[in-house]
Amino acid sequence: MKSLSIACVMLSLASTGLAEKVTDSAAQHNWPHWRGPLANGVAPYADPPIEWSQDSNIKWKVALPGKGSSSPIVWDNRIFILTAIKTDREGTAKDPPDSRDADAPPRFNPFHIERPTHYYQFVVLCFDRRGGELLWKQVACEVVPHEGLHGDNSYASGSPTTDGRYLYVSFGSQGVYCYDMQGQLQWKRDLGDMRTRMSFGEASTPVLHDETLIVMWDHEEQSMIYSLDAATGETRWEQPRDEPTNWSTPLVVEQDGRWQVVANGTNRVRSYDLESGALIWECGGQTKNAIPSPVSTAGLVFCMSNRGGNAVYAMPLDATGDITDSDRIAWHRDQGAPYVQSPLLYGDRLYMTSSNRAILSCLDAATGEPLINRKRLQDARAFYASPVGAADRIYLVGRKGTCLVLKNRPKLEVLATNKLDDPIDATPALVGRELFLRSQGHLYCIKQD
One-letter-per-residue 3-state SS of 7-51 = HHHHHHHHHCCCHHHHHCCCHHHCECCCCCCCCCCECCCCCCCCC
pLDDT (average), residues 66-75: 97
Question: Which structural domain range is residue 389 located in?
Answer: 7-96+117-426+434-447
| Residues contacting 103, CB < 8 A, separation 6+ | none
List of E strands, 284-432: 295-297, 300-305, 311-316, 321-322, 331-333, 344-346, 349-353, 359-364, 370-376, 388-390, 393-397, 402-407, 414-419, 429-431
Q: Is the pTM of this model over 0.75?
A: yes
- For the chain, the domain total comes to 1
Q: Do the beta carbons of residue 313 and residue 302 sit within 8 Å? A: yes
| Residues contacting 337, CB < 8 A, separation 6+ | 287, 292, 304, 305, 306, 310, 311, 312, 352, 354, 355
Position 406 pLDDT exceeds 70: yes
Position 18 pLDDT exceeds 60: no
Q: Report d(CA 390, CA 45) in Å as an integer.
A: 7
Position 17 pLDDT exceeds 50: no
Residue 1 in domain: no
Range in 97-106, 226-235, 436-445 with the lowest mean pLDDT: 97-106
Residue 112 in domain: no
Residue 375 in domain: yes
Q: Do the beta carbons of residue 81 and residue 72 sit within 8 Å? A: yes
Dihedral of CA atoms 270, 275, 218, 157 in degrees, nearest 10, equals 110
pLDDT of residue 111: 79
Q: Report d(CA 42, CA 46) in Å as an integer.
A: 9
Dihedral of CA atoms 106, 108, 113, 118 in degrees, nearest 10, equals -40
Residue 101 in domain: no
Amino acid at the residue 227: S
Position 5 pLDDT exceeds 50: no
Residue 104 in domain: no
**427 DSSP 8-state letter:** P
pLDDT of residue 107: 63
pLDDT of residue 8: 44
pLDDT of residue 94: 74
Across the chain, what does the average pLDDT equal? 92
pLDDT of residue 366: 98
Q: Report d(CA 37, CA 32) in Å as an integer.
A: 6
88-145 pLDDT tens trace: 999 988 765 544 444 445 566 777 888 999 999 999 999 999 999 999 999 999 999 9
Residue 106 in domain: no
Residue 103 in domain: no
Q: Report d(CA 103, CA 302) in Å as an integer.
A: 42
Residue 108 in domain: no
CATH code at position 71: 2.130.10.10
